Amino acid sequence: MREEKKLRLVIDEGVLKIVDWARNEVLCEFTPDELAEIIEFRYATPWNRSKDIMEKLMYILNDILDAYTSSEEIFPKKGDIIKRVKFRVHNQAEE
């Protein structure tokens, strides 16, 4: 019987990483360019549009992480995080 793999997708330093959670080992990394190429091929989307989308997604995901880590609340509400990301509030206390 095959052992169940415990894999996670992690976005770190602007790349998508496939991580073996049990061994804490990065198995593979995908750059935004590579992801854009996959989108272009699979969905017939122009490469420049796909790359633009991936770059924006990476910025947003990094902003979400920053909003969570810089929040003064232990468990911030999702609505507060969305507001902080939309309005680009970084490392500031909520008003």
Condensed to tens digits (0 to 9), the pLDDT of residues 20-73 reads 999 999 999 999 999 989 988 988 888 888 888 888 888 898 898 888 888 888
- The answer to whether 18 and 9 are in contact (CB under 8 A) is yes
- Give the per-residue pLDDT at 91: 60
- How far apart CA 26 and CA 89 sit, in angstroms, is 31
- The answer to whether 6 and 15 are in contact (CB under 8 A) is no
- Give the per-residue pLDDT at 94: 45
**Can you give the residue ranges of every domain in the chain?**
47-95
- Give the per-residue pLDDT at 54: 86
